[in-house]
Homo-oligomer: A and B are copies of this chain.
Amino acid sequence: MAMSGELTIDLGALVRNYKMLDGLSTPECETACVVKADAYGLSVGKCAPVLYEVGARTFFVATTGEGISLRSVLPDDATIYILGGLSTGDGQLELDKSHDIVPVLNSLAEIKLASMNADNFPVALHFDTGMNRLGLGEDEAQVLFQDPSILEGLNVRLVISHFASSEDADNPDNHAQLTKFNEVKRRIMPLCPNASFSLANSGGSFLGDDYHFDLTRAGVALYGAHPTSSLEDNPMEPVISLSVPVLQVRTAQKGEGAGYNSTYRFDENADLAIVSIGYADGLPRSLSNEGVFYWQGHALPIRGRVSMDSVICDLINVPGNEYPALGSMVEVIGPNQSLDALASSASTISYEILTSLGGRYKRVYT
């Protein structure tokens, strides 16, 4: 019987997803890997080296701390960008230098900070083209275009922007962002002769050559999530599967409640399996009374609230009372329920499921 939930991570599928995404653009266009948040929860130490092995040479993380961890598992010729920029100031600049990691500068304030303290320091520049999140806005971009001396001391290797809705292939905002990014490119190229350009994330890779520039940035699609509305079926291979043991099989009487605050009432007697997973394992509490798990292909609806360490499942769809035993494994993510389907039941996206995967599972890398 299993010690705990078992999370299987298929590194072969990860690699095949990388190759598939890389194949969407021309050979001249590089495909980088976004491995922030510990490779979307799947372990950067396991994922980044296998991606390097099949040819990935450029990686993106969110913070300097993540960059330092990543550097320790990658060969020297890998380039590491920090999307979170320079919020930590001069101290971070020195850290970035000593670990050979490259900050993505998101504002004039960051550019000035880097420029003041740098001599041919490699950086990326991020221009916002429609999210109002990170990156120079149009106001700051104009200041920069008109005073290129602001970039003194910096070796701009990459210029990026980020899509707000690229998974929604028909959204006109994608083309509007493309137009803005082409204008940024036209203005900044003379100032940064060494720079490459990058706009597309996972969804953007499916929007066609115009959107690819020199470098695409593969993120959630690497890990198996459906990246684009342009294809009905998910073109990516699933990377993770998750199953959890049954702690108890029991019967509830008609009229009784299930779980905290009895948010579900049984209108008939019901046979139940209590399984060993809860929100402390990253299973969203929003699955309370919403989601299903699977046992031998039969859907087990969740009854009542998701608890910290356990979930109450109804065996109503299991024929002939041939129930799971103590320790039988129930599927949370697998052949019957995709990562995206679980996320949808929880009213969220696969990204949040991935980055919340808990520390109590036994992790098996295949």
A137 adjacent to chain B (CB < 8 Å): yes
A25 adjacent to chain B (CB < 8 Å): no
Please measure, in the bound complex, the distance between the C-alpha atom of A227 and the C-alpha atom of B127, giving whole angstroms.
47
A164 adjacent to chain B (CB < 8 Å): yes
A345 adjacent to chain B (CB < 8 Å): no
Contact B312 A132 (CB under 8 A): yes
Cross-chain contact of A309 among B37, B131, B359 (Cβ < 8 A): B37
Cβ contacts under 8 Å, A49 to chain B: none
Copies in the complex: 2
Cross-chain contact of A326 among B38, B113, B247 (Cβ < 8 A): B113
A296 adjacent to chain B (CB < 8 Å): no
The closest CB in chain B to the CB of A139 belongs to: B251
Which of these binds chain B: A14-22, A153-161, A278-286? A278-286
Chain B proximity mask over A237-273: 1 for CB below 8 Å, otherwise 0: 0000000011111111000111111100010000010
Contact B309 A3 (CB under 8 A): no
Beyond A83-B309, A133-B258, A282-B356, list 20 extra A-B contacts (CB 8 Å): A3-B65, A4-B88, A66-B360, A84-B276, A87-B246, A88-B327, A107-B249, A107-B326, A131-B257, A131-B260, A132-B304, A137-B251, A137-B252, A139-B251, A164-B260, A168-B261, A279-B351, A279-B352, A279-B356, A286-B347
Contact B131 A259 (CB under 8 A): yes
Please measure, in the bound complex, the distance between the C-alpha atom of A36 and the C-alpha atom of B278, giving whole angstroms.
12
Contact B87 A326 (CB under 8 A): yes
Chain B proximity mask over A56-75: 1 for CB below 8 Å, otherwise 0: 00000011111000000000
